[in-house]
Amino acid sequence: PSETGNETYLNVEWAVNYWLQKGAPAEKLNVGMPLYGRSFTLASSSNNGLSAPDRGNGGQAGRYTREAGFLAYYEICDMLKTGGTRHWIPEMEVPYVVKGDQWVGYDDPQSLKFKVDFVKSKGVGGVMVWALDLDDFSGSCGEGKYPLLRAINDELASGQVQQMTNAPTTAAPTTTTTQRPNHQTNHPNNHPTGAPTTTTTSSSIKTTHHIGSTHRFNCIGKTSGFYADPNSCTQYFICAGTQSFEVSCASGLLFNDATKFCDWPYNVRCNAQQIAHQTTTRAPVPTNPPQTTHAHGTQHMTTTTTQAPYIPNLGGDANSFCRNRADGHYRDPANCGMFYQCAMNLGFHEPCPPGTVFNEAIIACDFPFRVAACQNYSP
């Protein structure tokens, strides 16, 4: 059925078009794609179509993820193998599966390819996913390892675009709410979970980099997060629980172990042994290069450089903090400039941009004067 009322605005296409119409640079937009499904318990197993009523308490918790209303892709595969029935929604170009009184909406390789084609048609920055360990990393679904990530990467690298159904253009709803002050600083997502090389829309790509598990890095005993490759400045590892993943930076970038993302070479300290293994691609000249001034009548030079961002000492055990907590974001009780992101009892300890603190009211980094508990915060 066609979407009506407020449902008209609850889709990816409307959201992307809205940002673009309001002047957001397309290259700064990334479209999120899930590697999991949302589950519901139906009020009646005989009424299991689209928009069927549910009991309001989420679907049964998965065997491994153990969270009501949420299933990893490999758990959905198990559901299909044990009597679940897959259905396809042509208008939305997504599947759902029904088994008894359980109803799960999710994405599979087919629907993700349609989403990637939409991303390419809009010329936006790229794709982000949540989360690597929710894909079928063991190949139990019978589609090879990481079927969802591979579908995304392969379609990004493909020069072809599948035929998509375009939704009608809908104007933004009129609201009378007070506009939010413009001095808020939102927390940037400094931790990409997809390979940066796959976010390009260039048709000249010849190869595709597949993120996959690796035995080159041991995550056992390590906090979930991002780690530099000791042998290559262009690569890094992601630890998600005890699973390790190997990722390459985009051409011309190096992994910055201080900020935990791929950065311009002039911002990265990389030892000579690592640099010797890097590509020769040169990064663009920075917009504001260091300025050099000569003192009057002398040979002395004073060099002014941009100070590196303040990165607090992460420390602590993020997994211990997040144990038995609901998924979400929490300000670090010991440091207003840090916050925890909790997901399925895994914890990620992350910094706010310099000079800002985490505001739990808006779930974003903000100026200290807007957070009562952090009025006197000083890095």
Give the C-alpha separation, 2 to 218, whole Å: 49
Pairing of strands 357-359, 346-351: unpaired
DSSP secondary structure letters along 184-247: --PPP-----S-GGGG---TT----PPPEE-SSS--TTSPSEEEEETTEEEEEEEEETTEEEEE
Residue 115 sits in a domain of what CATH number? 3.10.50.10
User: 224 and 114: one domain?
Assistant: no
The number of folded domains in the chain is 3
The b/e string for 204-241 (b: 16+ C-beta within 10 A; e otherwise) is eeeebbbbebbeebebeeebbbbbbbeebbbbbbbbbe
User: 115 and 239: one domain?
Assistant: no
Structure tokens at 302: 């004073």
User: 29 and 156: one domain?
Assistant: yes
Residue type at 114? Answer: F
User: 142 and 40: one domain?
Assistant: yes
Asked which of 221-235, 295-309, 336-350 is least confident by mean pLDDT, the reply is: 295-309
Residue 274 lies in domain: 214-284
Taking only the tens place, the pLDDT of each residue in 176-196 is 443 443 434 344 444 443 433
Going by the DSSP 8-state scheme, the letter that residue 51 receives in this structure is T
For residue 290, pLDDT beyond 50: no
User: 323 and 271: one domain?
Assistant: no
Taking only the tens place, the pLDDT of each residue in 117-144 is 999 999 999 999 999 999 999 899 999 9
User: 117 and 68: one domain?
Assistant: yes
Residue 338 sits in a domain of what CATH number? 2.170.140.10
Domain contains 15:
no
Question: What integer pLDDT is reported at residue 118 of this predicted model?
Answer: 95
Domain contains 290:
no
What integer is the mean pLDDT of 157-174?
54
Which residue intervals of the chain are DSSP H helices? 12-21, 73-81, 109-122, 147-157, 272-275, 318-322
Structure tokens at 130: 């949540």
Of the pLDDT bands very low, low, confident and very high (cuts 50, 70, 90), residue 202 is very low
User: 326 and 260: one domain?
Assistant: no
Answer yes or no: are the C-beta atoms of 248 and 231 closer than 8 Å.
no
Residue entry with tokens 């794709």: 127
User: 280 and 340: one domain?
Assistant: no
User: 149 and 228: one domain?
Assistant: no
Domain contains 9:
no
Torsion angle defined by CA atoms of residues 257, 262, 263 and 268, in that order, rounded to the nearest 10 degrees: 30
Domain contains 206:
no
Whether omega for the bond prior to residue 131 falls within 30 degrees of 0, making it cis, is yes
Domain contains 218:
yes
Give the C-alpha separation, 109 to 32, whole Å: 15
Q: Does residue 307 sit in helix, strand or coil?
A: coil
Where a domain ends, among 266, 284, 302? 284
Q: How many Cα atoms are found within 13 Å in the side-chain-facing hemisphere of 154?
A: 12
Picking from 156, 129, 124, 115, the residue whose alpha carbon sits closest to that of residue 12 is: 115
Domain contains 172:
no
Domain contains 169:
no
Pairing of strands 102-106, 225-229: unpaired
What integer is the mean pLDDT of 290-313?
39
Bridge partners of residue 96, in order along the sequence: 87, 105
Single pTM value for the model: 0.50
Give the C-alpha separation, 155 to 132, whole Å: 18
Picking from 129, 180, 178, 131, the residue whose alpha carbon sits closest to that of residue 359 is: 180
Where a domain ends, among 137, 163, 189? 163
User: 45 and 115: one domain?
Assistant: yes
Mean per-residue pLDDT over the chain, rounded: 77
User: 98 and 222: one domain?
Assistant: no
Taking only the tens place, the pLDDT of each residue in 209-260 is 445 678 889 888 888 888 999 899 988 998 877 778 888 887 778 888 888 8
Give the C-alpha separation, 266 to 285, whole Å: 9
Domain contains 14:
no
Residue 233 sits in a domain of what CATH number? 2.170.140
Where a domain ends, among 269, 284, 299? 284
Please give the C-alpha separations between residue 302 and each of 62, 289, 295, 308, in angstroms, as whole numbers: 61, 14, 8, 18
Question: What integer pLDDT is reported at residue 123 of this predicted model?
Answer: 93
User: 247 and 123: one domain?
Assistant: no
